[in-house]
Amino acid sequence: MSWTGTTRRRKTDLMTTIKIGNHLIGPGHRPYIVAEMSGNHNGSLDRALQIVDAAADAGAHALKIQTYTPDTITIDDDGPDFRLSDGHDLWGGQTLYALYQKAHTPYDWHEPIFERAAARGLTVFSAPFDATAIELLESLGAPAYKIASSELVDLPLIQLAARTGKPLILSTGMADVGDIANALKAAREAGAEQIILLACTASYPAAPEESNLRRIPVLAETFGVQVGLSDHTLGIGVPLASVAFGATLIEKHMTLARDDGGVDSSFSMTPAETRMLVDESERAWRALGTTRIGPTESEREGLRFRRSLYVVADVEAGDEVTAANVRSIRPAGGLPPAEIGRVLGRSFTRDVAKGTALSWDLI
C-alpha cells in the first residue's frame, strides 16, 4: 500500500516525546490523563467551570472540550439520514441537530473555560470541527488539537489543524488501516510532526470486549507513532489495562455526578474515579518495569531466606544423615534442597550442632 514507505521512515517517531502544556507524553513518562467535558456541562457555563475545577482537583493533566455549533457539524434536517436509530442506547430517535444543540459548548464559553483552566494550572485543548473552530482555538492559544473519530476521514480538516504546528491527536474509532494511513499522510504533508493515535471504540457506552486493547502495540508498530486510548466503557478497568499495552495517553469523559444526567453522563467518570485513574494509571505504568528476569534490588535481602539444607538436631560424628536431622528449611546458606537425595544415608564427619547449614565437608 502507498503508506508503507512513509511508515518505515517514521518508525523512530514512536519514541519521540511530545509536550502538551507542561507535561511530557511518551513511553518514558506516566500516562497523560485527559478529562473530556463534552456535553456534561448540561448547557450551563457555571457547571462547565465546576467541571474544570473538579478535573484540576482530581489531578487530571488536561481538560478537553469540543468546539462546534450544531450548524458547523450538521444541518437542521429530520430526514432518516440525520436521525439516530431508535435502538441507540442513549440518543435513540433524536436528530443530529437536536443532539448537538444540547451537547455543544458555545463559542463564547471558550475564553472563560480557558481562563479558569489556566488559573488552576490545568491544560485545556479541544477537538475542532471546522475552520472557525480552529481560528477560535488559535486565538486562545490552544496547545494541541484532537480530531474526533467521525472526522478522521475529513482530510482537509486534519490538514487545517496540522498546519498550526501543534501536537495532533487522531482518534481512530470505526477506522480501518487505510483510513488511518490516509489521515496520517494528510497530517504529515501539512507539517504535523507530533502525532498520537488513539485506539477508540466509537460506541456510547462501549462494551469492554470491543475495546480490543491488543491493537495498541499493533498501531504503534504499524504507524510508528505513540498510541493512546479514547475510552467509553464504564469504570476504569479498561483504561488501566491499556497501560500494559503501551498507551501513553488516556482520554475519558468526566462529569460531576452521573445522577445529574446529560448527554454523556452515563458513561462518564466522576471526579473520584478520575483521581483513581490518574493515580492507578501511573502505578500501572511504573509496574511495567523491564524484561529482565532475576532478583530485583529489593529482593536481594530475601535471597538470604530461600530454603536450603540445615542440620535440625544435634548430631555426633558417625551418625547417619536422616530426614529427622537434616531438612530443607529457611534460610539459605546450606546445600540446595535438590541435594537431599544425595546426602541421606551418609554419615556425619564430626559433631554438628542444631542450626548449622549443611555443607559437603560435614558428611
Q: Note whether 139 and 273 are same-domain residues.
A: yes
Q: Note whether 324 and 255 are same-domain residues.
A: no
What is the three-class DSSP state of 213?
coil
Using pLDDT thresholds of 50, 70 and 90, give the confidence band for residue 16.
confident
**Set of cell numbers at residue 69:** 455549533
Could you say which DSSP state residue 334 is in? S
User: Above 90 in pLDDT, residue 6?
Assistant: no
Q: Note whether 232 and 280 are same-domain residues.
A: yes
Among 288, 323, 346, which residue terminates a domain?
A: 288
Q: What is the pLDDT of residue 90?
A: 59
pLDDT digits (tens, 9 = 90+) for 36-58: 999 999 999 999 999 999 999 99
**Set of cell numbers at residue 303:** 535471597
CATH of the domain at 303: 3.90.1210.10
Gyration radius from the chain CA atoms: 29
Global confidence as pTM: 0.89
Backbone angles phi, psi at 226, to 5 degrees: -65, 150
212: containing domain: 18-69+104-288
Backbone angles phi, psi at 280, to 5 degrees: -75, -30
Q: What count of other Cβ atoms lies within 10 Å of the Cβ of residue 59?
A: 17
Q: Work out how many domains the chain is built from and give that number.
A: 2
Q: Note whether 267 and 133 are same-domain residues.
A: yes
pLDDT digits (tens, 9 = 90+) for 306-332: 999 999 999 999 999 999 999 999 999
